[in-house]
Structure 1
Amino acid sequence: MTTARVVSLSELGSADVIKLIDKELPSPAKGEVQIRQTAIGFNFIDVYQRSGVYPLDLPTGLGHEAVGVVKALGEGVSNFKIGDRVMYINAGIGAYASARNVPADKLVPVPDQISDEVAAAVFFKAMTAQYLVQKTYQVKAGDIVLVHAAAGGVGQILAGWAKALGAFVVGTVGSPTKFAAAKEAGCDAVIDYSKPNWVEEFIKATGGKKANVVYDSVAKDTFLGSLDCTAPFGTVALFGGASGPAPEIQPEILNKKGCLFLTRPSVFPHNATPALLQENARAVFDAIAKGYVKVQIGAKFSLEQAADVHRAAEGRKVSGAIIMIP
């Protein structure tokens, strides 16, 4: 038996509901791998789930993404060996832990050139950016792309990847303190979506043109403006809700604003099978190798500081990715 330190929630609510407990971890079952986790990724979906925006069955753990070292193999596992470095994003909730048993078919090997901390900081976010720029809308040279929350973990990767593909990228941020991070990520122009005239500022930044695609993870505060920033027959990809759920609209609005395409994608359906997971992971590793995906670790916390991680994220106090070290 291995004793693991894990986050356990008995209720949903503020960051105060996050508690750490010791849990006895059994030997890995058939098809499973036991991992000693070395770095844990934070993603804003963790906040949505902890707060009840995306309700979970209780009691529950938290977290979707971690990196670690294989410590034990369950029966029938032949594609990994003890000592391998591995990571996952879709092995079920419970990544906030020092050790964990994970189905082997949910694991991806970590390339030698990528450190544990970088892998934890980038993988979930890069897999999100991957489906957005390659599948939801295939970004190409000459496109105008609007990326909301461009100083955040996903936003920085998304902006940089779109720029590397030849797009003109406008990023939004929620405060002037994040302008530099968004600019450094690859944005050609940066605007503050908290200002009432941000839509006009966007159109000014593009020389009077609108976006072929808008990537909106902010939702409540930006969604209606996102529709106004989208060119006829353009795409609005609503993939998060950092400020709250997007306002409900009548479908006819999409017609009146230019026959727009509106979609609400997410990372898990895009990686629902082992084959898809491996294929998309290869695309991400290729993008990293080409320099399309760059990583800025904005803050590191211990696992015992998990509640502080959530407070910092909700308070928009960190630019870039947040990781935890067990």
Structure 2
Amino acid sequence: MTKRESFLGASATSQIIIGHYGNASALTEIEATLPPPGAGEIRVRHTAIGVNFVDIYHRTGLYRLPSLPAVLGVEAAGVVEALGPDVDTVRVGQRIAYAGPPAGSYASARNLRADRAIPLPDDVPDDAVASLLLRGITTHMLFAYVHPLKAGDTVLVHAAAGGLGLVLVQWAKSLGACVIGTVSSPAKAQLAIDHGLDHAIHYRDEDFVAAVMRLTDGQGVDYAIDGIGGKTLLDTLGSVRPYGMVASVGQVAADDSGPLDLSLLGPARSVALSRPGVFRFMTDLVRYREGAMATIRQLQAGLRPTIGAVLPLSEAAEAHRRLESGQTVGTLLLRP
């Protein structure tokens, strides 16, 4: 029996599923059996699983999943355990990572389309890539497609000490930008500054729009990236220079700004607003792999992952509670 043949049977896996939309208590751990991978598929045994805010959107039903019950999670790293028919792009035993739909990474193992697997070089650890591959692809989309960032640009990043924020800060600095970030505490300000942030604004203590205008001599930033939504997004429109860009990439805020009055964009302000979706971006395999490789190159060049905590897979609900509380620093991982 060959090594490949020895892995072709069914395999046990632990999974975190939701049977209905709701709060963190909707997460349930079950034991399941994976069938052999089908044509064009691989089976990957996870070593590290990323936790993202989109997982919460899926859990609550803000972003509906195709059907329920469903396994949550859209990002992980692991080792290829089995190959389905007609797969020759990876090999059994190879380290890989992936990000994006379909959901299903909250599991000790899963079957996955082989074309979503990104082979990992030896100098990129599993935990590092699992903590920020989706965020890295998002950052690549934002800085290469939505508003091509260039040296000398000024960028505003909300939640600069969060999982996405720390990636945005470091990546923008690598491109020669000046980065202003909002934070909720002195400790988070120091963390973001340690990762390259030029100016930290304590949004609980001062009006961030006024602070941005002070820091930019009344001009506003070239580009603002907001994952908060609600009133924060509306206020952010006033922090951008004429003909600048605001990218709305999330809606953590419970309040909803409702339909947007176009007069908030212009003609007086003359700013652009984009609502880019990284899942839509990754439907193109060329863009997906391009973003993944850009992230790996950034890691190899010194991008530092900040992993706030590593919890057992069985404690996925606790990971969600921590992320929703707004008290997390950096990213959270689940360990199968």
* TM tier relative to shorter chain: over 0.9
Cα distance in structure 2, aligned partners of 1:118 and 1:184: 18
Which shows bigger deviation, 95-104 or 236-245? Answer: 236-245
- Is the 1:210–1:231 Cα contact (8 Å) retained in structure 2? yes
2:57 is the counterpart of 1:48: yes
Aligned match of 2:16: 7
Cα distance in structure 2, aligned partners of 1:221 and 1:189: 22
Cα distance in structure 1, aligned partners of 2:240 and 2:124: 36
- Is the 1:40–1:65 Cα contact (8 Å) retained in structure 2? yes
Q: Percent of aligned positions with the same letter in both sequences? A: 37
Cα distance in structure 1, aligned partners of 2:268 and 2:72: 39
Cα distance in structure 2, aligned partners of 1:6 and 1:14: 18
Aligned match of 2:315: 305
Which shows bigger deviation, 224-233 or 253-262? Answer: 253-262
TM-fit CA distance, 1:7: 0.7
Cα distance in structure 2, aligned partners of 1:14 and 1:76: 41
Q: Secondary structure of the equivalent of 1:255?
A: coil
Q: Which amino acid aligns with 2:88?
A: S
Cα root mean square deviation, aligned: 1.4
Match of 1:266 among 251, 254, 277: 277
Match of 2:35 among 9, 26, 31: 26
Cα distance in structure 1, aligned partners of 2:29 and 2:318: 13
2:225 is the counterpart of 1:218: no
Q: Deviations over 1:96-146 (max 9, x none)?
A: 000000010111111211111111012111111111111111111111110
Match of 1:132 among 137, 142, 155: 142
TM-fit CA distance, 1:174: 3.0
Q: Which amino acid aligns with 2:329?
A: S
Which shows bigger deviation, 83-92 or 93-102? Answer: 83-92
Cα distance in structure 2, aligned partners of 1:151 and 1:257: 32
Q: Secondary structure of the equivalent of 1:100?
A: strand
- Is the 2:15–2:107 Cα contact (8 Å) retained in structure 1? yes
Q: Deviations over 1:160-215 (max 9, x none)?
A: 11122111110012334421122122111111233462211222233333011000
Cα distance in structure 2, aligned partners of 1:315 and 1:140: 34
Within a 5 Å distance, the mapping from 1:203-242 to structure 2 comes to: 203-242=213-252
For structure 1, the 5+ residue unaligned runs are none
Q: Secondary structure of the equivalent of 1:27?
A: coil
Cα distance in structure 2, aligned partners of 1:10 and 1:196: 43
Cα distance in structure 2, aligned partners of 1:176 and 1:48: 28
For structure 2, the 5+ residue unaligned runs are 1-9
2:248 is the counterpart of 1:202: no
Q: Secondary structure of the equivalent of 2:86?
A: coil
Match of 2:264 among 237, 253, 275: 253
Cα distance in structure 1, aligned partners of 2:205 and 2:236: 14
Aligned positions, number: 325
TM-fit CA distance, 1:11: 1.1
Q: Secondary structure of the equivalent of 1:305?
A: helix
> Kindly tell me: are residues 176 and 222 of structure 1, through their superposed partners in 2, closer, same or farther at Cα, counting changes over 3 Å?
farther
TM-fit CA distance, 1:39: 0.4
Q: Which amino acid aligns with 1:289?
A: Q
Within a 5 Å distance, the mapping from 1:143-158 to structure 2 comes to: 143-158=153-168
> Kindly tell me: are residues 95 and 9 of structure 1, through their superposed partners in 2, closer, same or farther at Cα, counting changes over 3 Å?
same
TM-score, normalization by structure 2: 0.93
Which shows bigger deviation, 22-31 or 257-266? Answer: 257-266
Q: Which amino acid aligns with 2:266?
A: N
Q: Which amino acid aligns with 1:130?
A: H
TM-score, normalization by structure 1: 0.96
Within a 5 Å distance, the mapping from 1:101-180 to structure 2 comes to: 101-180=111-190
Cα distance in structure 2, aligned partners of 1:294 and 1:130: 16
Which shows bigger deviation, 181-190 or 224-233? Answer: 181-190
Cα distance in structure 2, aligned partners of 1:131 and 1:246: 25
> Kindly tell me: are residues 323 and 228 of structure 1, through their superposed partners in 2, closer, same or farther at Cα, counting changes over 3 Å?
same
Q: Deviations over 1:226-278 (max 9, x none)?
A: 10001000000001111134443211221144211101002122221322222
Which shows bigger deviation, 177-186 or 149-158? Answer: 177-186
Which shows bigger deviation, 188-197 or 19-28? Answer: 188-197
